[in-house]
Structure 1
Amino acid sequence: MDSITQAALGATIAGAVAGKQCNAKVLLVGAALGTLPDLDVVLDYGDAVSNTIKHRGFSHSLLLLPPFALLLSWLYCRFRPDAFWNFKRVSVLTLSVLVTHTLLDAMTTYGTQLIWPFEGYFELRNIFIIDPLYTVPLLIAIIVALFSNANGAKWCQSVLVLSTLYLGWGFTAQQYIANRVDQNLAQQGLPNKQVMITPTPFNTVLWRIVVMDEHYYWEGLASLLDEDKDIEFIARPKGAWPLEEKPDTLRGLKAFSHNYLNYREENDELIVSDLRLGMANNLAFEFIYAKRDDSGDWVLIDAPKRFPSPRGFEHLNTLWERLMGDQSIDANLTKQTLGYNR
């Protein structure tokens, strides 16, 4: 999730644990702890792909965070002994904030290395990386807690229940859409082995579907408000890696994306795109791996570079119309808003 959400979640959890001791200082500490795991973004692993796939690694590991939380708690109690903030209470607060950070990240589409140093990216994809309906209640609870010490903790506790229910709602909505997708794939004779269902920006009502096959992939949209349960899928060429040599970063990108990858040539550059994050022409992670030389042969570049693909939100009004169930714009929305008019 975004940094504001993680800070807000950390502050709210801290306020809930603090009880009658909930105050601005406690909320600030919770916010700081909530952003701590994401400080790994300052590390440079040498190239754009490595910086992407190694984020949410050791700093998000459920194998490392508990002992780290206990160490922080021991250090705090060692140098700031306090009758109320004893080791047990401090460790509960610290561990709760750090663990919920990584668990929330695992509910987005990006992928989180929950068991680092062991391999594996985990994601549920039941919430978009920015969702106001999740974040705003947390911010409200923090504001109330700042100006109402007596009821601040109760507000934090209540909003945490509400936010958890919202995550459950996202998962339930995803399963409803998944059942609809299964029916449509069977009716349309499309493959059903590698299917991704993820929310579109800022909501859990309109969902994007990506279906992979050996040579093609299909994109479609489905809203909970659709009257017609048919889904229009648009076929795209998947492309293929054209070189015999496969760099380590490509293998890493395949693992990170679960092989939801597209390969294309543009302006004599070989571009590899992660199809999961964003919406086609607004994909978040695209990388330049090779360029054609004077003879027309592909030559790997020394280090993959980020492709400057547009990642704006100029089509949000159209997405809103689609969210509300206007399926008449599906073909135009998928082909133009989602891109691939190349």
Structure 2
Amino acid sequence: MDPVTHAATGLLASQAVRRFLPGTRLLLPACLAAALFPDLDNFTGGDPEKYLIQHRALSHALTAAPVLAALLAGTWKLLVRDVPLRKAWLLMLGLVLGHLWLDYVTSYGTQLLAPFSNTRFTLESVFIVDPVFTAGLLLAALAAWRLPGRRTSLALAGLVWLLAYPLASWSCRLVLESRLETALRHEGRQFLSLRLSPEAFTPWYWKGVLDLGETYELSLIRFQDADKTPSGTIYTKADKGLLDGLGREADVFKTYEWFSRYPAVIRTLEGDHETLIFQDLRFVSLHPLVRAVTGDGREPFFTLTAVLDPRDGRLLEYRLRQGGVTFRSNPSTSAGR
């Protein structure tokens, strides 16, 4: 989830607990720090492969949450001697867990069981930037600030919104998936599975990922058209054997196979080179507003490109696009997992 939403959680928490920690100094900065703290793993030294592995890993694990809370509460106690340590730890723990919740509800996935498992868990119910969700949190915080007599109840209402909105959106996804599957079967369509992934302005819009065996069909789904199955764009699935083979030359392809949920590949010829462009359909936006802003020709985030020698299929170079920046490397400089 985006930093503004995380920060709004810290702001609401500081307003909700102020009556229980009267006169406590640095309450707001402490809450903001706790709400944002797990995202320190964004700073992985600029290595894009390490970012895929380490972001939302150990610092976002349930096992690490009590330790991070203790570190934050201890630092607060050193700065403000009269802070009740037990209450501070409980508050910090709640905010760290709130951060994990906000990341869990997005489609990116969070390694909640790290370091014991690198499985990425996701509720797939909220887009990575959701203006309706974030606005609800900020409006609750603004109301709590303007109405100090009702500060606690309004802040708590905002924290309820923090839980209720993603759960309501998740329920919408389950209902919509069920209705679309029924419609597809009624039409006689053959498919292996249908999954919806958050799109900009969920729960009103979703990405429909229809697994057709060797291909995916990606469609923009509107909640109000739950009984319709719009035609979409066909993408060739990225063959596991292909990624495994490239992974023997550069570990980043093994990492990408682990990271991606709906991997697709586009083959092109660039001069005397063959190019394989791997995309995870989670990050391909179909919403017209997003496409108008970013442009139809822009590659989605986390696109991995392999440049091959067409004579023997040897990997010459790879490019990984992350966060709007493209990193180039060759097999000899690939970081090991």
Alignment TM-score > 0.5, same fold: yes
**Does the aligned pair in 1 maintain the 2:307–2:317 contact within 8 Å?**
no
Instruction: Name 1:155's counterpart in structure 2.
Output: 154
Deviations 1:109-151 (A, max 9, x none): 1111111112200111111111111111221233344455443
Deviations 1:20-50 (A, max 9, x none): 648994233222221111121111363x233
> Does the alignment pair 1:273 with 2:275?
no
Give secondary structure in 1 for the equivalent of 2:207: strand
**Does the aligned pair in 2 maintain the 1:22–1:145 contact within 8 Å?**
no
TM-score by length of 2: 0.79
Instruction: Name 2:167's counterpart in structure 1.
Output: 168
What's the offset of the Cα at 1:197? 0.7
User: Counterparts in 2 of 1:246-265, with a 5 A limit?
Assistant: 246=247, 247-258=250-261, 260-265=262-267
Greater RCO between the two (CA within 8 Å, min separation 6)?
1
Structure 1 unpaired stretches of 5+: 311-342
**Does the aligned pair in 1 maintain the 2:34–2:72 contact within 8 Å?**
no
Alignment CA distance shift 1:13-1:22 (3 Å): farther
CA RMSD of aligned residues (A): 2.8
User: Counterparts in 2 of 1:86-235, with a 5 A limit?
Assistant: 86-117=84-115, 118-187=117-186, 188-193=188-193, 195-226=194-225, 229-234=227-232, 235=234
What's the offset of the Cα at 1:265? 2.3
Distance 1:278 1:3 in 2: 22
What's the offset of the Cα at 1:303? 5.7
Give secondary structure in 1 for the equivalent of 2:256: helix
> Does the alignment pair 1:286 with 2:303?
yes
| Percent identity over paired residues | 25
Distance 1:242 1:140 in 2: 46
> Does the alignment pair 1:29 with 2:30?
yes
Deviations 1:309-342 (A, max 9, x none): 89xxxxxxxxxxxxxxxxxxxxxxxxxxxxxxxx
Higher mean displacement: 265-274 or 57-66: 265-274
Deviations 1:66-102 (A, max 9, x none): 12212332343355332xx312211121001111101
What amino acid sits opposite 2:19 in the alignment?
G
What amino acid sits opposite 1:271 in the alignment?
I
Instruction: Name 1:81's counterpart in structure 2.
Output: 81
Higher mean displacement: 242-251 or 35-44: 242-251
What amino acid sits opposite 1:299 in the alignment?
R
Deviations 1:224-274 (A, max 9, x none): 222x7120243332254288342432222222223x101122333221111
Distance 1:161 1:307 in 2: 33
Instruction: Name 2:335's counterpart in structure 1.
Output: none
Instruction: Name 1:318's counterpart in structure 2.
Output: none
Give secondary structure in 1 for the equivalent of 2:282: coil
Give secondary structure in 2 for the equivalent of 1:225: helix
**Does the aligned pair in 2 maintain the 1:287–1:307 contact within 8 Å?**
no
**Does the aligned pair in 1 maintain the 2:68–2:96 contact within 8 Å?**
no
Higher mean displacement: 131-140 or 264-273: 264-273
TM-score by length of 1: 0.78
Deviations 1:269-328 (A, max 9, x none): 22111111232666322112x2133x6443324664328989xxxxxxxxxxxxxxxxxx
**Does the aligned pair in 2 maintain the 1:191–1:211 contact within 8 Å?**
yes
What's the offset of the Cα at 1:6? 0.8
Instruction: Name 2:2's counterpart in structure 1.
Output: 2
Alignment CA distance shift 1:307-1:5 (3 Å): closer
What amino acid sits opposite 1:103 in the alignment?
W
**Does the aligned pair in 2 maintain the 1:217–1:238 contact within 8 Å?**
yes
Distance 2:199 2:63 in 1: 31
What amino acid sits opposite 2:58 in the alignment?
F
Instruction: Name 2:313's counterpart in structure 1.
Output: 298
**Does the aligned pair in 1 maintain the 2:307–2:318 contact within 8 Å?**
no
**Does the aligned pair in 2 maintain the 1:291–1:298 contact within 8 Å?**
no
Give secondary structure in 1 for the equivalent of 2:136: helix
What amino acid sits opposite 1:272 in the alignment?
F
Distance 1:198 1:10 in 2: 27
